[in-house]
């Protein structure tokens, strides 16, 4: 097939969606497909890939960007166009960031109750917000587009907020590279990293990987750690990601857990920190289908997630870890972390988490994505007949 992939930036270092798209393009090429990529910018490392690049250049306006992508794509004779959320001219739409209106609403609800009306009013007058919403409306108006939702949660949100018809939605959860993320890959790092961080052998370590600390529930996690610490729990939390960390360190000191939490900043590779940890925790307020949960599971770690994270749909309560109903319930989060002080329970859940990851590999994810193309190609063939 002659397949077009559309994304803002074709660069695996820019984020999860970008990294996935580069890997998926490589998978398609290995299987003999001709891949055309339309993007604003391309990473130098992608020049070695055997794909056909169509560079748009930097375009600030979301609308103009989508128009430029459409103009380029119309000149290509492609069998199928797969867009990650940049434009509206596509057969398959896969919005990795989730449902825009739902994201905005979740962020608004994180604010104090009295400030929420002001925030909603500000959103209504924000030209950027209106432009983004108009783009999604245009994407959803197409009568031929198939929506690839990363979780049932995202599928339901697009139906609720944009009226996207259920019959044109397919749910394909994320997959994980189970060879790169594995207990075997972690094992060489564990002792060295724990020693460097000053973690004693008896300390039970949790890790959270996040950049938007508010949205990912880091304040709730810090309060939960403080509560557990007051009860004598030998817990330590590693926070990987983020910037401007000093205010967060001060807040940790205020809660009395400054010596129980390490803010490590951004790292290109989280494996050493998965290796140093005994469980993964991500009390997120919104995630379409977080790869972090799958990465931790693939490394053999029990995971603590929330129902606001689409990835949690893959996990069974009390089997591979725990799923919280309310990310802000720090008491419940503290309880789940304290349960994981039990080494036998951690090992049992960690083994189950690894098996779950092996059922949701990146290769299987690619195969499931490609299988949905038959729905589009078959529909067009039937129309032509």
Tens of pLDDT, residue by residue over 35-64, are 999 999 999 999 899 999 999 999 999 999
Return the closest-CA partner of residue 323 out of 113, 315, 97: 315
Q: State how far the Cα of 160 lies from the Cα of 223, in Å rounded to an integer.
A: 33
Give the ranges where the chain is alpha helix by DSSP (H).
Answer: 16-30, 62-74, 100-109, 116-125, 127-141, 152-162, 183-186, 190-196, 218-230, 246-255, 271-275, 291-298, 330-339, 343-359, 362-384
Helix (H) / strand (E) element for 185: namely: helix 183-186
Q: How does pLDDT run across 69-126, given as a tens digit for each residue? A: 999 999 999 999 999 999 999 999 999 999 999 999 999 988 899 999 999 999 889 9
Q: Which of 239, 102, 211 is nearest to 160 (CA)?
A: 102
CA 121, chain centre distance (Å): 28
Kind of pairing between the strands at 146-149 and 92-93 = parallel
Rounded to a whole number, what is the largest CA-CA distance in the chain?
71
Asked if pLDDT for residue 173 goes beyond 50, the answer is: yes
Tokens of 18: 């970008």
| Rounded Cα–Cα distance for residues 92 and 311 (Å) | 21
pTM of this structure? 0.90
Q: What are phi and psi of 114, to 5 degrees?
A: -70, -25
Residues 244-275 have pLDDT tens digits of 999 999 999 999 999 999 999 999 899 999 99
260 token code pair: 């129980």
Identify whether the C-beta of residue 59 lies closer than 8 Å to the C-beta of residue 26.
no
Q: How confident is residue 383, by pLDDT bands cut at 50, 70 and 90?
A: very low
* Structure-block tokens of residue 54: 């169509």
Helix (H) or strand (E) holding 281: strand 279-281
At residue 57, the 3 state secondary structure works out as coil
Token pair for 323: 């799923």
In sequence order, which residues have a C-beta less than 8 Å from that of residue 180 and are 6 or more positions away?
Answer: 271
List of E strands, 12-79: 34-39, 41-42, 52-55
* Residue whose structure tokens are 């599971």: 297
Query: How far from the centroid of its chain's Cα atoms is residue 224's Cα?
Result: 23
pLDDT of residue 268: 86
Core vs surface per residue 82-102: b (16+ CB within 10 A) or e? bbbbbbbbbbbbbbbbbbbbb
Q: State mean pLDDT over 19-31.
A: 96
User: Does residue 157 contact residue 99 with C-beta atoms inside 8 Å?
Assistant: yes
Percent of the chain surpassing pLDDT 70: 98
d(CA 94, CA 289): 12
How far is 245 from 188, CA to CA, in rounded Å? 28
User: In the prediction, which pLDDT does 378 show?
Assistant: 65
Residue in the structure block whose two tokens are 């060489």: 188
> Residue 215 contacts by C-beta under 8 Å, 6 or more apart in sequence?
106, 107, 110, 284, 285, 286
């Amino acid at each position: 097939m002659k397949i077009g992939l559309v994304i803002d930036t074709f660069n695996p270092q820019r984020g999860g969606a970008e990294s996935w798209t580069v890997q998926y393009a490589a998978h398609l090429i290995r299987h003999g497909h001709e891949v055309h990529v339309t993007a604003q910018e391309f990473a130098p490392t992608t020049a070695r890939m055997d794909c056909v690049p169509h560079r748009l250049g930097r375009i600030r306006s979301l609308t103009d960007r989508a128009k430029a992508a459409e103009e380029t794509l119309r000149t290509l004779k492609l069998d199928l166009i797969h867009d990650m959320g940049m434009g509206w001219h596509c057969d398959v739409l896969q919005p990795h960031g989730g449902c825009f209106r739902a994201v905005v609403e979740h962020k608004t609800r994180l604010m104090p109750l009295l400030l929420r009306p002001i925030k909603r009013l500000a959103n209504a007058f924000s030209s950027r917000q209106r432009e983004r919403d108009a783009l999604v409306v245009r994407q959803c108006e197409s009568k031929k587009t198939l929506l690839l939702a990363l979780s049932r949660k995202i599928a339901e949100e697009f139906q609720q907020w944009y009226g996207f018809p259920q019959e044109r939605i397919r749910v394909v959860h994320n997959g994980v590279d189970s060879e790169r993320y594995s207990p075997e890959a972690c094992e060489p790092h564990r002792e060295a990293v724990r020693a460097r961080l000053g973690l004693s052998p008896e300390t039970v370590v949790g890790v959270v990987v996040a950049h938007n600390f508010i949205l990912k529930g880091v304040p709730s996690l810090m309060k939960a750690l403080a509560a557990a610490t007051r009860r004598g729990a030998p817990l330590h939390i590693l926070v990987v990601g983020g910037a401007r960390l000093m205010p967060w360190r001060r807040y940790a000191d205020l809660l009395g857990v400054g010596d129980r939490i390490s803010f490590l900043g951004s790292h290109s590779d989280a494996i050493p920190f998965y290796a140093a940890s005994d469980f993964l925790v991500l009390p997120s307020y919104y995630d379409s289908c977080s790869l972090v949960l799958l990465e931790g599971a693939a490394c053999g770690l029990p995971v603590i997630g929330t129902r606001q994270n689409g990835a949690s749909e893959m996990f069974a309560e009390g089997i591979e870890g725990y799923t919280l109903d309310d990310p802000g319930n720090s008491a419940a989060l503290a309880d789940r972390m304290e349960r994981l002080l039990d080494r036998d329970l951690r090992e049992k859940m960690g083994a189950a988490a690894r098996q779950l990851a092996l059922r949701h590999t990146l290769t299987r994810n690619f195969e499931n994505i490609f299988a949905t193309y038959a729905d589009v190609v078959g529909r067009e063939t039937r129309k032509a007949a």
